[in-house]
Structure 1
Amino acid sequence: MHPPEMRARARALRARGHNIRSVARSLSLPYTTVWHWCVDRPEPAMLGSAVRCFRCRPDPENPPDPAAYAYLLGLYLGDGHLVTTDRVPVLRVYCADAWPHLIDLCDEAMRSVLANKVQRIQKRGCVAVQSTARHWPCLFPQHGPGKKHQRPIVLADWQREILTANAGHFLRGLFHSDGTRFANRVTVRGKQYVYPRYMFSNRSADIMALCQWALDLLGIAWRMNSRWSLSVARREAVAALDRHVGPKT
């Protein structure tokens, strides 16, 4: 199955006057596929501002709110799921009941990136924040069958460009989903010390590597304390991460 943005590009080229064969050749698609999209089941070409999906325009663009996109991508990689088997794709992020403000932030990010409508479905101990839109797969090419840690998670070039400029927002999404900030207590020579510490846990080596990459971009020191767990514990590193992430509420 071809992604929705490929169909949109084919129809846009056809609307500009290109014949079926030239469209098929330029997009490296079978002639019959393009004919089916443009002749058998034509749809109005979606051009310019008429397309909310910034990737489906004839000349793909970056999101209008790159910070919101970086944050939402972090949430998706942590606690999100994209269902593409339904008639219309559904993006769903699970947020614990203990963090009501996080639920609001997820809702706002979905609306800023693409969603016209966001639903909140109460589950046991959490809320599924979800939105249906045919273009979610265009914006999250990391989707696929099975669990994330059982398949490669690789950024597209355009995503890496966005995250490089918005690493803090991306980390915020990662830590708001699969991370925590807590008071670490240690005892040295009978005296107890308490200091704040961040932990991030994810069983996907690729997602863990993305977290490490974003921390390195911001110059924040980290270390692995297990195969699936990362720690930010130095005082200056915690202070730096506080400026980008902050506590869940």
Structure 2
Amino acid sequence: MPECIPMPFHPPETRHRAIALLRTGAKNAHVARILDVPSGTISYWKHMDRAERGECPGAHRSRCPRCDEVLEWSAYAYLLGLYLGDGHIIQNRSMRTPSLSIFCDDSWPGLMDACESTMRTVFRDNAVCRVQRRGSHEVKLYSKHLWCLFPQHGPGRKHERKIALEPWQQEIVDAHPWDFVRGLVHSDGCRNMNWTTRVVNGERKRYEYPRYFFTNVSDDIRQLFTDTLDKLGVEWTHCTRNGSPYNISVARRASVALMDAHVGPKY
């Protein structure tokens, strides 16, 4: 397998400043030096700026959903939840453009369709494909704007580094909290039937009740999940399950009803 080399993330403000300097006639090397950005990145930004202004005939420009202010917030909130659970971004030595992959179990074809549809809604200029894996499909797209949309990307596994939302992401999650929760549950959660027994009139009876679980090794991602549940008025508890302490349980009847109305089981 090719070695994955994460690309450095440069905020939109840095790119905008670089473009402003380049338009004054500043040399690529000068801009790269004062902004501490690789010269190749400066050259690429200059090329894309020229293409946007029609100075490169035939050049194709794909819009950045965020920078060009065409981002569909509710779809992005759902996709962000999926990404934090079962998604990753890679770019290796042989790839010019990074790829986003969300892994969907073959047991949930409806979830796979929802994931693909959401990717197409967020990235309107990009093709989405499905790659068959053992027992699952990798729903995948390529876009040079992934670093801008998912600043949580970085080297190593998510639970080994800090995961925090940028202010603009938190604004979207606050506006569409149920979409975010649904994405997290659809990636790393489930709805199942739990049971218990009670003695009634001297007779032990079995009772079943629905319950939602969310399991993620990252303390930060679980915190994002529970913080959002708190804002929605959903009661939850920490739960050790099969020896794993990384579970969040929603079992109160009123809270399960809320989850059923806005999230529902995988399908």
Provide TM-score, normalisation by structure 2. Answer: 0.80
Q: Which residue of 1 aligns with 2:103?
A: 94
Deviation at residue 208 of structure 1 after TM alignment: 0.3
Counterpart among 167, 183, 202 of residue 177 in structure 2: 167
Spell out, residue by residue over 1:145-193, the C-alpha distance to the aligned partner (whole angstroms, 9 max, x if none). 1111111111101000000111100000000010000111111111111
1:87: how far off? 1.8
Instruction: Give the alignment's Cα RMSD to 1 decimal.
Output: 2.6
> What is residue 37 of structure 1 aligned with on the other side?
42
Alignment length, in residue pairs? 237
- Show the counterpart of 1:126: 136
Structure 2 partner of 1:108: 117
Aligned to 2:3: none
1:192 aligns with 2:196: no
- Structure 1 residues 162, 14: closer, same or farther in 2, change over 3 A? same
Q: CA deviation at 1:7?
A: 6.7
Equivalent position SS for 2:264 = coil
Please give the secondary structure, in 1, of the residue aligned with 2:47.
coil
Match of 2:158 in 1: 148
Cα offsets for 1:118-161 (capped at 9, x unmatched)? 11001000000000011111100001111111111111010000
1:10 to partner: Cα distance: 4.2
For 1:162, what is the secondary structure of its paired residue?
helix
Q: Distance in 1 between matches of 2:41 and 2:147?
A: 21
Q: Is the 8 A contact 2:85 2:184 kept in 1?
A: yes
Q: Secondary structure at the match of 1:42?
A: helix
Map 1:66-105 to 2 at 5 A. Answer: 66-85=73-92, 86-105=95-114
SS at match of 1:169: helix
Closer, same or farther: CA 35–195 of 1 in aligned 2, 3 Å: closer
Q: Aligned runs of 1:12-31 on 2, under 5 Å?
A: 12-14=19-21, 17-20=23-26, 29-30=35-36
Percent identity of paired positions between Structure 1 and Structure 2: 43
In structure 2, what residue type is equivalent to 1:70? Answer: A
TM-score (norm 1): 0.86
Q: Which amino acid aligns with 2:164?
A: V
Query: How many angstroms apart in 1 are the aligned matches of 2:248 and 2:40?
Result: 51
Ranges in structure 1 where 5+ consecutive residues have no aligned partner: none
**Residue deviations 1:71-123 (CA, integer Å, cap 9, x gap):** 00000000001113332100000000000010110001111111521110010
Indicate the residue corresponding to 1:220 in structure 2: 234
CA distance in 2, matches of 1:127, 1:109: 16
- Counterpart amino acid of residue 83 in structure 1: I
| 2:67 is equivalent to residue 56 of structure 1 | yes
Distance 2:165 2:45 in 1: 32
Q: Structure 1 residues 183, 135: closer, same or farther in 2, change over 3 A? A: same
